[in-house]
């Protein structure tokens, strides 16, 4: 159930209503907006009489949300959510570019890449610390050392950073070092991790699982939001199909579907989706044309030496070319870089 009310409503009366509603439903949240605010009830609300709500003159409307994902649905919030991280907006008119290597390999590497990207123009530095790899013999990342290097790059070049978390035990460390915490495809349904991240005051970048439906992605986001953290960014990164020409199958149709179903920002990772750098540019352009709010790109200063995912990493020159073309597509669809 979603209750819309005027912002000039008496605070005492709003608190009185919230307390009364908690007699029927334990999960009651108040969301403040610029012009109107909302009271959201998650759970069984069939026993709540709408007349007890409508007696207050400052109530605008009462609606029962039919989707299983309540807080992230368009029924709950009509306008797009825009998340601001250190002056970088995610969602809204601007296209947000997250770029950097698959994995942090050294201090010199991440500082060099960040310097080049800053000159070329980008919004947020990405880089992996703990790498979840299919093979136990593949490079597993530098761990906490990588987080330290990312933090140094962020402070030197004044850009926010995003890094993937793999363990609920590392939440405090990530919250102190990262501006955005990423949940990878393999952890999309790690519900203990999602619930714990719902209690963290940091935006969460949530990747779609490799075999997850759109509803399952939204339900995973609901775990985070229902535990108190409304700042979730959804990421389409390709799903497993029978096709072997690309690493995964990029579900471009998921972009407009998600934009219809949820108010959360939606970005695309064409690097992991295709697995081959020659496909990253066309899929990036197609993603923005389809309505994506941003891109998560793998960029390396020397891809041939990359310790992970070398085949899908763009060079700095590749990235500059992609960015120039992206600007044209963004303008054509009424967006900007």
CATH code, domain carrying 195: 3.20.20.70
> Are residues 252 and 121 located together in one domain of the fold?
yes
> Are residues 233 and 303 located together in one domain of the fold?
yes
> Are residues 30 and 154 located together in one domain of the fold?
no
Report CA-CA distances (Å) from 126 to 194, 222, 229, 282, 300. Answer: 20, 24, 21, 21, 11
Total domains in the chain come to 2
> Are residues 95 and 160 located together in one domain of the fold?
yes
Report CA-CA distances (Å) from 296 to 48, 90, 207, 224, 319. Answer: 44, 12, 11, 21, 12
Residue 133 domain flag: yes
The DSSP symbol for 136 reads T
Residue 132 domain flag: yes
**Residue that is written with structure tokens 């610390």 in the block:** 129
Q: Is the pLDDT of residue 337 over 70?
A: yes
Residue 298 domain flag: yes
Cα angle vertex 270, ends 200, 99, to 5°? 55
Residue 70 domain flag: no
Q: Got the DSSP string for 29-73?
A: EEE--SSEEEEEEES--TT--THHHHTSTTEEEEE---SS--TTB
> Are residues 105 and 38 located together in one domain of the fold?
no
Give the closest residue to 268 by CA, choosing from 243, 285, 247. Answer: 285
> Are residues 145 and 222 located together in one domain of the fold?
yes
> Are residues 87 and 56 located together in one domain of the fold?
no
Give the closest residue to 102 by CA, choosing from 125, 127, 123. Answer: 127
Q: What is the pLDDT of residues 91-116, one digit of tens each?
A: 999 999 999 999 999 999 999 999 99
Q: Is the pLDDT of residue 259 over 80?
A: yes
Per-residue confidence (pLDDT) for residue 136, from 0 to 100: 81
Output the furthest CA–CA distance in the chain (Å, rounded): 68
From CA 124, how far away is CA 154, in angstroms rounded? 9
Residue 78 domain flag: no
Q: What is the pLDDT of residues 166-217, one digit of tens each?
A: 999 999 999 999 999 999 999 999 999 999 999 999 999 999 999 999 999 9
Report CA-CA distances (Å) from 191 to 44, 128, 133, 195, 257. Answer: 21, 21, 21, 6, 24
Per-residue confidence (pLDDT) for residue 18, from 0 to 100: 93
**How many CB atoms are closer than 10 A to CB 65?**
18
> Are residues 163 and 212 located together in one domain of the fold?
yes
Report CA-CA distances (Å) from 197 to 166, 168, 308. Answer: 12, 8, 27
The parent domain of residue 150 ranges over 83-332
Residue 304 near residue 268, CB atoms below 8 Å? no
> Are residues 53 and 162 located together in one domain of the fold?
no
Per-residue confidence (pLDDT) for residue 77, from 0 to 100: 85
| Average per-residue pLDDT for the chain | 93
Per-residue confidence (pLDDT) for residue 169, from 0 to 100: 95
Per-residue confidence (pLDDT) for residue 199, from 0 to 100: 93
> Are residues 111 and 174 located together in one domain of the fold?
yes
Give the closest residue to 182 by CA, choosing from 249, 258, 267, 263. Answer: 267
Tell me the average pLDDT across 33-53.
81
From CA 317, how far away is CA 103, in angstroms rounded? 19
> Which range is least confidently modeled, 41-55, 117-131, 138-152, 275-289?
41-55
> Are residues 311 and 245 located together in one domain of the fold?
yes
Q: What is the pLDDT of residues 54-87, one digit of tens each?
A: 999 999 888 888 788 888 999 888 889 999 999 9
CATH of the domain at 53: 3.30.70
> Are residues 58 and 93 located together in one domain of the fold?
no
Predicted confidence band at 284 (pLDDT cuts at 50, 70, 90)?
Answer: very high
């Amino acid at each position: 159930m979603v209750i819309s009310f005027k912002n000039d409503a008496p605070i005492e009366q709003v608190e009185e209503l919230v307390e009364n509603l908690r007699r029927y439903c334990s999960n009651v949240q108040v969301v403040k907006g610029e012009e109107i605010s909302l009271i959201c009830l998650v759970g069984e609300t069939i026993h709540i009489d709408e007349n007890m709500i409508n007696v207050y003159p400052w109530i605008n409307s009462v609606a029962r949300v039919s989707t299983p994902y309540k807080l992230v649905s368009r029924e709950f919030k009509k306008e797009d959510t825009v998340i601001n991280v250190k002056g970088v907006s995610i969602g809204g008119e601007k296209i947000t570019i997250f770029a950097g290597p698959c994995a942090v390999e050294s201090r010199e590497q991440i500082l060099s890449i960040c310097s080049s990207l800053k000159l070329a123009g980008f919004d947020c530095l990405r880089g992996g610390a703990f790498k979840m790899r299919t093979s136990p013999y593949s490079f597993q990342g530098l761990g906490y050392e990588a987080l330290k290097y990312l933090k140094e790059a962020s402070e030197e070049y004044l850009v926010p950073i995003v890094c993937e978390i793999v363990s609920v035990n590392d939440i405090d460390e990530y919250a102190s070092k990262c501006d955005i915490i990423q949940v990878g495809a393999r952890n999309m349904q790690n519900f203990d991790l999602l619930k714990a991240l719902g209690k963290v005051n940091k935006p969460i970048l949530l990747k779609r699982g490799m075999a997850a439906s759109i509803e399952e992605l939204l339900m995973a986001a609901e775990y985070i939001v229902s535990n108190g953290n409304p700042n979730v960014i959804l990421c389409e990164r390709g799903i497993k199909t029978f096709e072997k020409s690309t690493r995964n199958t990029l579900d471009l149709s998921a972009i407009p579907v998600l934009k219809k179903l949820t108010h959360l920002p939606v970005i695309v990772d064409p690097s992991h989706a295709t697995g081959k750098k020659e496909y990253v540019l066309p899929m990036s352009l197609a993603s923005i044309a389809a309505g994506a709010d941003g891109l998560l790109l793998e960029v390396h200063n020397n891809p041939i030496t990359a310790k992970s995912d070398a085949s899908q990493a763009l060079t700095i020159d590749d990235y500059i070319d992609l960015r120039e073309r992206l600007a044209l597509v963004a303008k054509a669809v009424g967006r900007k870089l």
